[in-house]
Amino acid sequence: MRPPRLRKPILRLSPKPNRHSPVCIQIVSLPIARLVAAMLPTKYFRVPLMKWSFTLNPGPFTIKEHVLITIFANSGGGGIYANGIITIVRAFYHRTINPVVAMLLAQTTQRCGVVATCNANAAGDAAFATDL
């Protein structure tokens, strides 16, 4: 009897998301953002019965906005760690996970990573042994 092939079920259960390099997003965002800033109308719109007005064009695209795009691209560049857990449970244990439980698992693993990163970079009390 031949052992089952595990490669195909794992690839079938966990489709690969579209991943773009943060460097690619950083390079592409600059000309697109400058084009959008040049094309947006500069006309001011007034809110009826108020003294408020606004425009759809906030002004030229600056380096600060480009830095924010780069930060967001780098923060979202990696995958969700819980996808591996969910795939292993489905492929090797032949069990399904409730979608709500899977979402909570993904949220908690991501937040634990952020907390651990923040605690590692923060100055804490040396006598407090339970820091992450």
The overall pTM is greater than 0.75: no
* pLDDT at position 47: 92
**pLDDT value of residue 3:** 55
Q: What would you measure as the largest C-alpha separation in the chain, in angstroms?
A: 80
Chain segment 38-91, per-residue pLDDT in tens: 998 889 999 999 899 998 888 888 888 888 888 888 776 666 777 888 888 888
> Which DSSP string corresponds to 5-60?
P-HHHHHHHSPPPP---HHHHHHHHHHHHHHHHHHS---EEEPTTSS-EEES---S
The total of other beta-carbon atoms located within 10 Å of residue 6's CB is: 10
pLDDT at 100 over 90: yes
> Can you tell me the distance from the alpha carbon of 93 to that of 9, in angstroms, rounded to the nearest whole number?
12
Residue 71's pLDDT is 81
User: Residue ranges of the domains in the chain?
Assistant: 18-78, 79-132
Phi, psi of 64 (to 5 degrees): -65, -40
- How far is it, in rounded angstroms, from Cα 120 to Cα 32? 36
